[in-house]
Amino acid sequence: MTAIDELRATPVRTTPTDEERRVALRGMKRLATSLLLVAAVVFAVSFALQDQVPWLAYVRAAAEGAMVGALADWFAVTALFRYPLGLRIPHTAIIPNRKDEIGATLGAFVEDEFLSDEVVVGKLRSIGISARLGEWLSRPENAERLTAEASVAARGVMTLLGDDDVEDVIEKLARRHLFEPEWGPAIGRMGERLVAANQQRAAVDALFEKAEEWLEAHPESIGGIVSGRMPRWMPDFVEKFVDERAHKEVLAFVRAVREDPAHPMRETIDRYLADLANDLQHDPLMIGRLEQLKVDLLESPRVREFAGEVWTSVKDTLETALDDPDSELRQGFRSAVVEVGIRLSTDAELAAKVDEWVTDAAAYVVRNYRHEIAGVITETVERWDPKETTEKLELQVGRDLQFIRINGTVVGALAGLAIYTVATGIRSLM
């Protein structure tokens, strides 16, 4: 059985509600008060009849001690929370009168005893955070749950983001990273590498292939250009012949260039591209022309429109993917979560590194912010109303304090009986 299974198999203890605590407190108060009343009745009866029935003197002594113990402990318990019988006796109603001091003391106690480096680091190292987290994440149902929660959070973030603000960011990033650097040298260096590696051949092949397809589909295109320049008195059959001949020659030339990797036209194109790449890097005139083109593009409203189109497209795509449980985005995230969980639970070295990182991070937070963390307790208690504070604390510990009254009644009875017995024994010996 794994650590996670053991945790699941452990019965969960439910914390009583305030109403349940209040009912239990009232029951214990009634029990403690009932014992006091019983002791008082027993004392009254035994006191009245002890002359006729001598052994009742022992009962009276026990009942008398029980009443004294019960009253003393009632006073002590009541003095913690309020003034006994409404009398403002010194050192009573301790909690409402010293609420702020109690909060400060509690905060200092938590800071010194619970938020020390030794306690926090020792606890984190002992529980094996990575192993437990890894086992939890490796379960598909948990990965699905985490993915769903992350999707909801992501949609919430996207809702909070203003479209105009995001478009401004995209535009600024585009200006900074796309438009501020010089285009010429960068494009020239990239073109030089492509030509040196003959990477331009694929583009040239595609260009002549498309040209051949277009010429085959539009035979009139070349013919119209040639026959349109001939004299008007030229017979139609001559123009038609010339047009067909021109189209065939151009088509044959394009086909020859496409089929022959060593065609002179290809070599001419390669030399042109190499010269162009060199000019883009070293020719000030060419660099200046490209920079002017960049400035014209930068001043165009299309830059802002581009930013808006990019964000709209990204936002729509993300929203659709986040809403669809079967989208590639969510499936990828689920798979990543499960993979991380498996690695954390099986890779001891990785788990140790994560544990160490978490421990160091927690120790840093505790070391630098322990006073602020403990201060939350002090500030919270200070904001409480004294009456509210008294009720909260009494609900938490009042039921257990009533046992003090019950024990005081029992112990008082035994003490009273013992004292009377010893005193009577000494008196009989004298």
What is the pLDDT, as a whole number, of residue 9?
46
pLDDT band at 39 (very low <50, low <70, confident <90, very high): very high
- If we measure between CA atoms, which residue out of 377, 373, 375 comes closest to residue 119? 373
DSSP 347: -
Look at residue 325 and give its three-state secondary structure.
coil
Q: Which residues contact 232 (CB under 8 A, 6 or more apart)?
A: none
Distance CA 345, CA 132 (A): 7
Among all chains, which residue has been given the structure tokens 């929203």?
319
Look at residue 57 and give its three-state secondary structure.
helix
Q: Which of 263-272, 300-309, 341-350 has the lowest mean pLDDT?
A: 300-309
Tokens matching residue 360: 């160091």
Residues 169, 175, 176, 180, Cα dihedral to 10°: -170
Q: Which residues contact 358 (CB under 8 A, 6 or more apart)?
A: 124, 129, 130
Look at residue 112 and give its three-state secondary structure.
helix
Q: Which of 59-63, 155-159, 259-263, 306-310 has the lowest mean pLDDT?
A: 306-310
What is the pLDDT, as a whole number, of residue 7?
39
Among all chains, which residue has been given the structure tokens 């027993």?
42
Q: Which segments of 128-235 does DSSP mark as H helices, in order? A: 129-137, 140-160, 163-174, 183-196, 200-217, 220-227
Among all chains, which residue has been given the structure tokens 């909070």?
160
pLDDT, one tens digit per residue, over 80-134 is 888 888 888 888 888 888 888 888 888 888 888 788 777 877 887 788 888 888 8
pLDDT, one tens digit per residue, over 308-327 is 677 677 777 877 888 888 88
Among all chains, which residue has been given the structure tokens 């990965």?
143
pLDDT band at 37 (very low <50, low <70, confident <90, very high): very high
- If we measure between CA atoms, which residue out of 125, 138, 194 comes closest to residue 2? 138
pLDDT band at 64 (very low <50, low <70, confident <90, very high): very high
pLDDT, one tens digit per residue, over 40-61 is 999 999 999 988 998 999 999 9
Distance CA 343, CA 296 (A): 53
